[in-house]
Structures are given as structure tokens and as C-alpha cells.
């Protein structure tokens, strides 16, 4: 058994990252300013000139986008229940109605067919999730959105660096990234909007800072504070430079991080192939580069001899951390109580929600770390199969 604890995620922080943050701390300007603008510019350059706006979290960016699109009471927003609660909470807080679509059982991605079937006269937006770094099938999804005149907001919280049919996510349409510490690159907390919709970007930029036409950066550069006007009531959701500079420093290593995650995933898959009852989430069949944000497996109790919760407990006892991405939103207490109609209507979502578990995956892991996880899974399963 391992003597040290292996967390399921850990940010990869280099000495250059630390020095970049220290330099900003010493610079005399730590809130939103030149470093935030540099992070936005660097991602924009990577995405062939997309409009990029940084904010305090992926959740904050989604909130700003829903506000900018004026989604509210009477509107429906289509999204999977197999997502992080933040998106559905925000739709609900806007007074709009979340409409859940089931996911594909193997890839856990929403399908164009399910989305099309859920569209009504009240649909205003569709939020597909590029789950664990795999892109959804965007050509048909975009075509459906276009035909029905609804906005497509790609939840790319897991998918920075992912590409679909040769185009990096965020390089076309509208996508939202998270920079939370478990994500592929981080700013501590933070989020990014990448869009080809200039009006949306302008409005999100304004809404993230009190609705003022000038943001904190402009105020410093141009000294416009006293006269900057509120164009519409906005939030305070800007990304400070002391956070942004970490993301800027990390962005240089994004491809190396993904390559390492890819190698670790391949090693996991090779080992898991001979473990009955533990199966990784499948990759999509369309052309893509997978972002490899999470290493998710499904635990099949009838074959594994234990359920997901038991496996997670046993791995924890073996000094191995795991995660759960996610318990389906409609199974959370509030949604069960207030949107009970979804129970039983999303079979693939519920199937996965009961079985998934995220194994440790981060670039600084060693191959031996992967082997120790595989060994501990084998040991846990062997134990369960010994007759009492």
C-alpha cells in the first residue's frame, strides 16, 4: 500500500509560475490590469483572434453570459443533468427553466438527437458540456441551434486545449472555460469566455465590472474612474492580476500538460482492460483532440463485487483520492424536491451517476502512481470476491 496520499488532482506549479505571481505581488497592482489583459490576449492568439474575457470563475462567466443574453422567466435552457450544479443553479436563479437531456451511455456526451427533441418555442439556449475534455459533436449541434434560432453556449470547463474536427474549442462559437485548481491550467479560481460574438464579449466585459464602460484596467491606464458611467447594472466578477498571471504562465505548458495526461490515461486504460467491472468512459468517434481533464471509470457492481462508493472508500483506505464528476443535478436534494418530474427520465445519466468515479490524474503523477492505483483497484476487487 502507498505510504503517501495520492490526491485525485493537484495543480502543477512550476518555479516560473511562482516567480510570475511574486512579481505581480511586488508590482504595486494586483487586481485586474495588464496581466488579466495579457491572459485574455494569449488565449485569443491561440484561438485565432477569438474575443476572450476573463472573470472570477467559470460560474461567473456563465452567469454573465446568461445575463448578457437576457435569459429569464419563461425561457428554457437545454443542458445535461450530468454536469456541475453551477450551470443549472444559474439557469434557475435567472428564473428560467432548465430542460435536461440525457447523455450517451458510453461517452457521457449530449447527443444532437436528444437536443433536437427537447427544443420548444421557449428554448433560448443550449449548453452542451465537453465532458471530461471530450468535445460534443458540434457540427450537428450548431446546425440545430442555428435552425431553431437558439444560442449555443459550450460548457468547456473541462476542455481547454480540446479540439473538435481540427478547431480548438473556443475558436468558433461561444465557449466557457474554468480555471479552478483541478482544471488543466489554473488561476487559483477563474474563468474565461471565448467567443466570435463581439457584442456578447462587449456586454460580458461590461457586466463583469459593475456595468461600467471602463473596467479596472482601463481605470488604471486612462484614469477615467471618476467619470466612468454605468451603462447597465452589473456585477463585480473580475479576475485579479495576481490570479491571471498564474494562468498566463501556465498557458505556455497547456499542450505539455495535455500530452502527459494523455500518456497517463493510456497507461490506465491498458491496465483497466484486464479488470472486470471497471470500465473507462469511451472517447467519441469523431475527429478530436481530447483534453484529458478527468480519468473517469464506471464501477459495475454485478461484475466488480462492490459499488462505486465502496470502491472509493477502499481506495481512500489505500491512500488514494478519488472524485465524483458528477452526481446528476436532478438527483440533488433541491432539484429532487422542486423538479421531481426528471426522476427516471434520464436513464443513461442515472446509470452513470450511480457508477462513475474519477481516478487520480494530473501531469506531475508518475507512471508508478498509475500502477499503484491499478494495483489498489485489483486488491480491492479481489478482497470483495473472497467468500465470507
Kindly state the smallest distance separating residue 211's Cβ from ligand PLP, in Å: 21
**E strands of the chain, at which residues?**
51-55, 76-80, 97-101, 123-126, 151-155, 163-164, 167-168, 174-178, 191-195, 278-280, 288-289, 295-299, 356-359
Output 88-97 pairs: Cβ under 8 A, ≥24 positions apart: 88/329, 88/335, 90/59, 90/62, 90/63, 90/66, 91/66, 94/66, 94/67, 96/66, 96/71, 96/72, 96/124, 97/122
The answer to whether 240 contacts ligand PLP (rule: CB under 6 A) is: no
- Is the Cβ of residue 33 or residue 133 nearer to ligand PLP in the bound state? 133
Q: How far is the CB of 335 from ligand PLP (least distance, A)?
A: 16
User: Minimum distance between the CB of residue 52 and ligand PLP, rounded to whole angstroms?
Assistant: 15
Active site residue 303: no
For residues 307 and 301, what is the distance between their CA atoms, to the nearest angstrom? 5
Residue 239 or 245 having the CB closest to ligand PLP: 239
Q: Does 84 bind ligand PLP (CB under 6 A)?
A: yes
Q: How far is the CB of 83 from ligand PLP (least distance, A)?
A: 5
Q: Are 183 and 292 in contact (CB under 8 A)?
A: no
Peptide bond into 161 cis (omega under 30): no
The secondary structure of 169-191 as a DSSP string is TTSSSEEEEE--TTSSS--SS-E
Closest contact distance (angstroms) between CB of 214 and ligand PLP is 25
Footprint of ligand PLP on 54-83 (CB under 6 A) = 57-59, 83
Share in percent of the chain as helix, strand, coil (round to 5): 45, 15, 40
Among 171, 142, 184, which residue's Cα sits nearest to residue 291? 184
Q: Is 8 in the site for ligand PLP (CB under 6 A)?
A: no
C-beta closer to ligand PLP: residue 160 or 212 = 160
The distance of closest approach from Cβ of residue 10 to ligand PLP in the complex, given in angstroms and rounded to an integer, is: 16
Contact 158, 291 (CB under 8 A): yes
Residues 6+ apart with CB under 8 A from 204: 53, 55, 61, 64, 65, 68, 193
Nearer to ligand PLP, 97 or 178 (CB): 178
Q: Stretches 52-60, 207-215, 247-255, 337-345: which one binds ligand PLP (CB under 6 A)?
A: 52-60
Q: Which of residues 24, 35, 178, 376 is near ligand PLP by CB under 6 A? A: 178
| C-alpha grid cell, residue 286 | 469523431
Cβ proximity to ligand PLP, 54 vs 306, nearer residue: 54
Residue nearest ligand PLP by beta-carbon distance: 58
Interface stretch with ligand PLP, choices 8-16, 51-59, 203-211, 269-277 (CB under 6 A): 51-59
99 binds ligand PLP (CB under 6 A): no
Please provide residue 72's backbone torsions phi and psi, each rounded to the nearest 5 degrees.
-160, -160
Rounded to whole angstroms, the Cα distance separating 201 from 217 reads 16
Give whichever of 158 and 267 is closer to ligand PLP, judged by the CB atom.
Answer: 158
Distances (CA, A) of 342 to 75, 99, 326, 332: 18, 9, 16, 11
**Based on CB atoms, which residue is closest to ligand PLP, 109 or 214?**
109
- Do β-strands 123-126 and 167-168 pair in parallel, antiparallel, or remain unpaired? unpaired
Which one of the spans 10-18, 150-158, 311-319, 342-350 is the region binding ligand PLP (CB under 6 A)?
A: 150-158
Spell out a b/e string for 368-388, using b for 16 or more CB atoms within 10 Å of the CB, else e. ebbebbbbbbeebbeeeeeee
Considering only 33, 173, 191, 240, the residue that binds ligand PLP (CB under 6 A) is 191
Quick note: the x/- pattern for ligand PLP over 102-141, rule CB under 6 A, is ---------------------------x------------
By C-beta, is 59 or 249 nearer to ligand PLP? 59
Residue 86 engages ligand PLP in binding (rule: CB under 6 A): yes
- Residue 160 beta carbon to ligand PLP: minimum distance, rounded to whole angstroms: 11
Q: Give catalytic residue positions.
A: 183
Query: Which positions lie near ligand PLP, rule CB under 6 A?
Result: 57-59, 83-84, 86-87, 129, 155, 157-158, 178, 180, 191
Amino acid at each position: 500500500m502507498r505510504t503517501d496520499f495520492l490526491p485525485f488532482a493537484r495543480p502543477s506549479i512550476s518555479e516560473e509560475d511562482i516567480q510570475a505571481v511574486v512579481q505581480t505581488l511586488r508590482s504595486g497592482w494586483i487586481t485586474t490590469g495588464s496581466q488579466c489583459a495579457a491572459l485574455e490576449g494569449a488565449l485569443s492568439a491561440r484561438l485565432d483572434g477569438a474575443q476572450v474575457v476573463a472573470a472570477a470563475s467559470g460560474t461567473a462567466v456563465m452567469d454573465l453570459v446568461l445575463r448578457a443574453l437576457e435569459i429569464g422567466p419563461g425561457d428554457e435552457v437545454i443542458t445535461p443533468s450530468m454536469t456541475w450544479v453551477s450551470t443549472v443553479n444559474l439557469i434557475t436563479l435567472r428564473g428560467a427553466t432548465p430542460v435536461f437531456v440525457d447523455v450517451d451511455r458510453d461517452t457521457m456526451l449530449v447527443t444532437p438527437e436528444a437536443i433536437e427533441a427537447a427544443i420548444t418555442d421557449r428554448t433560448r439556449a443550449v449548453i452542451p458540456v465537453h465532458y471530461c475534455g471530450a468535445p460534443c459533436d458540434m457540427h450537428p449541434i450548431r446546425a440545430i441551434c442555428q435552425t431553431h434560432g437558439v444560442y449555443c453556449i459550450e460548457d468547456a470547463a473541462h476542455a481547454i486545449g480540446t479540439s473538435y474536427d481540427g478547431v480548438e474549442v473556443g475558436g468558433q462559437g461561444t465557449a466557457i472555460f474554468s480555471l479552478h485548481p483541478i482544471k488543466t491550467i489554473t488561476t487559483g479560481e477563474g474563468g474565461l469566455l471565448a467567443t466570435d460574438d463581439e457584442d456578447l464579449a462587449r456586454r460580458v466585459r461590461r457586466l463583469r465590472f459593475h456595468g461600467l464602460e471602463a473596467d479596472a484596467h482601463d481605470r488604471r491606464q486612462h484614469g477615467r474612474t471618476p467619470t466612468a458611467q454605468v451603462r447597465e447594472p452589473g456585477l463585480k466578477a473580475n479576475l485579479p492580476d495576481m490570479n491571471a498571471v498564474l494562468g498566463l504562465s501556465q498557458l505556455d505548458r497547456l499542450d505539455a500538460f495535455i500530452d502527459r495526461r494523455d500518456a497517463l490515461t493510456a497507461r490506465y486504460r491498458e491496465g483497466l482492460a484486464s479488470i472486470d467491472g471497471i470500465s473507462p468512459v469511451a472517447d467519441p468517434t469523431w475527429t478530436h483532440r481530447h483534453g484529458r481533464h478527468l480519468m473517469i471509470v464506471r464501477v459495475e457492481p454485478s461484475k466488480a463485487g462492490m459499488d462505486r462508493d465502496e470502491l472509493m472508500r477502499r481506495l481512500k483506505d489505500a491512500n488514494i483520492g478519488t472524485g465524483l464528476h458528477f452526481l446528476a443535478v436532478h438527483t440533488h436534494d433541491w432539484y429532487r424536491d422542486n423538479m421531481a418530474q426528471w426522476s427516471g427520465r434520464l436513464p443513461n445519466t442515472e446509470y452513470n451517476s450511480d457508477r462513475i468515479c474519477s481516478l487520480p490524474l494530473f501531469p506531475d503523477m508518475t507512471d508508478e502512481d498509475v500502477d499503484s492505483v491499478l494495483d489498489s483497484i485489483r486488491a480491492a476487487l479481489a478482497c470483495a470476491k473472497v467468500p465470507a
